[in-house]
Structure 1
Amino acid sequence: MPNQEAEARLAQTIGSLEGDGFPPALGQWLRAELPHDNLTILAYFQGRAPVALFAEAAQRQVHENFDRVYLGGAYLLDPFHDLHTSQAAPGVYRLSEIAPDQFHRNPYFLDYYANTTMVDEMAFVAYPAPGVSLHVCLGRDTTSNTRFAARDIARARQLAPVVGALAVRQWADLADQGVYSEAEVTERLIAALAATHGVKLSVRQAEVALLILRGHSSVSIGLRLGISPQTVKVFRKQLYRKCSISSQAELFTLLLPLLGR
């Protein structure tokens, strides 16, 4: 059965292209198609921190620490940012389907993400310019306290080409000249930790630290780095000893302020 409200909202969205009214119009159309509690539109770049292009939410907590914590450096731990760095195909992605195996147990999730009151999230991913990915993120939080149903995900996949085409048209002027390098992120972390706390990590120890903070288990880290889980555990012990800590929570507290440097 035709959704007349959604069709009218889509027409308004198309009519608002290349103007300031496009982001809220896009949100209204998507809400008619896929009921959600919050919307965040982010541009990820290869050579610099992401930029929030639009954000709205019924719950204040959703974006309360977004600028300070997420854009301040925590985005480097986020599964959606990993879609950008891996240049995932355009489409729609659900957080629960792309998150590392221990994401819901790691300090980034427990100390930041859980406090946003989010209970589910999906993102439409598009590439409006070289080195730039555009994420239109729809969230469910404690406002509705419901997860997206299978029919919502199926509908999102149907809408993904349209959302992507609109996003590319709206934000085609975004540009980035940098090149993302995980090695550079690792080197910056090593330098910042040494300068701030006098702790000198090896490259492998820093790589393991970042993957721990992203929510990867020893098995997952081993697969990423091409080493055995037992070797990962050795690096983890070395890392904790050098940093004089004994938990992931302490590692998160120590390293998070350094990620944005």
Structure 2
Amino acid sequence: MNTQDVDAVARLIAAIGSATLGPYLCGLLDGVVGYDMSCLYLFRFDQPAELLHDGYRGQVAVRTLDAYSRGGYLLDPFYVASMNRHPGGLWHMSELAPDSFFSSGFAISPDLHPCVSSTHGTQIDEIGYIVHLQTRTALVFSLMKAQEHGAFDEAEVAYLQRLTPLVSATLEQHGRHLPRHLETAGADSQLESAFVGALGQLTEAQRHIAKLLLQGHSNASIACQLGISEGTVKVHKHNLYQRLEISSHAELFRLFIGYIAQAGR
């Protein structure tokens, strides 16, 4: 480790517990990893996502960040992985995302997903560290690269992997400095209140399936998740569409986003 690296680590340690932690995390990457945006979020079950480091560099509208924090985060694979106690460490978005995620309403919505590009079908390369603080509470530090800049290459990913112990330990310590309101309400609940509110007229089973559909799961993926046949999923899907008086996934997504927008007023 050279003097420059030692200085970067020293600055990072000094920033633990302060609002400057994000920029110093990014400082570890200077000249080694190319990226267009970065962010650090605090995720808690059924609580608004909290942006602790805004490294979007002015490329994302405030209204988009607000919509994401109010409820859009519920469809983010990093949030879902964090709440399902997916192993911590460094993960590509594509490793966490359900099979139909990149064609889902969330992934292509410029008003909800704070990504570099919202072109339909575009897979923005996003890579991030998941650090669990306690049950259904995690910090996620992620980096995003625009479509025109390609994916993170092998050397960049290898460097980020080598940083995992340092980044994880730093974020764990940072979590100790966060306010002690981290304990989440409704610890036994399996469905966030936004899903219950938007899909209240459905049965519990139908709400669960609607949630998985919104998060980007196909019928086959839902069947695998729930241990039921794909035919049963289709029946539930047909029935929940009838109850909601809709006829497509796009309408289901608009209904959910409309609920989030109304709740934020």
TM bin (shorter chain): 0.7 to 0.9
More helix by share: 1
Q: What residue ranges of structure 1 are gaps of 5+ in the alignment?
A: 195-199
Over the residues paired in the alignment, what is the CA RMSD in angstroms? 2.5
| Residue identity opposite 1:254 in structure 2 | L
What is the 5 A alignment of 1:146-185?
146-174=150-178, 175=180, 176-178=182-184, 179-180=186-187, 183-185=190-192
Q: Provide, for residues 141-168 of structure 1, a one-character-per-residue CA deviation record: whole Å limited to 9, x for no partner.
A: 25x6221112222221211111011111
Identity percentage of aligned residues: 25
Which of 99, 104, 127 is equivalent to 1:101? 99
Q: Provide, for residues 198-221 of structure 1, a one-character-per-residue CA deviation record: whole Å limited to 9, x for no partner.
A: xx2111111111111111011100
Q: What residue ranges of structure 2 are gaps of 5+ in the alignment?
A: 119-123
| Residue identity opposite 1:83 in structure 2 | A
| Residue identity opposite 2:252 in structure 1 | L
SS at match of 2:150: coil
State how far apart, in whole Å, the 2-side matches of 1:157 and 1:125 are: 12
Whether the aligned pair in 1 keeps the contact of 2:43 and 2:82 (CA below 8 Å) is yes
State how far apart, in whole Å, the 2-side matches of 1:138 and 1:246 are: 36
Whether the aligned pair in 1 keeps the contact of 2:68 and 2:114 (CA below 8 Å) is no
2:39 is aligned to 40
State how far apart, in whole Å, the 2-side matches of 1:219 and 1:172 are: 41
State how far apart, in whole Å, the 2-side matches of 1:130 and 1:222 are: 27
1:82 is aligned to 80
Whether the aligned pair in 1 keeps the contact of 2:78 and 2:130 (CA below 8 Å) is no
Q: Provide, for residues 78-132 of structure 1, a one-character-per-residue CA deviation record: whole Å limited to 9, x for no partner.
A: 1101111111222111101111001111111122438642721111111345542
| Residue identity opposite 2:228 in structure 1 | I
Deviation at 1:75, TM superposition (A): 1.0
What is the 5 A alignment of 1:3-18?
5-18=4-17
State how far apart, in whole Å, the 2-side matches of 1:30 and 1:181 are: 39
Q: Provide, for residues 195-253 of structure 1, a one-character-per-residue CA deviation record: whole Å limited to 9, x for no partner.
A: xxxxx211111111111111101110011111101111111111222222222111100
State how far apart, in whole Å, the 1-side matches of 2:35 and 2:53 are: 15
Q: Which ranges of 4 or more aligned residues in structure 1 deviate by more than 6 Å? A: none
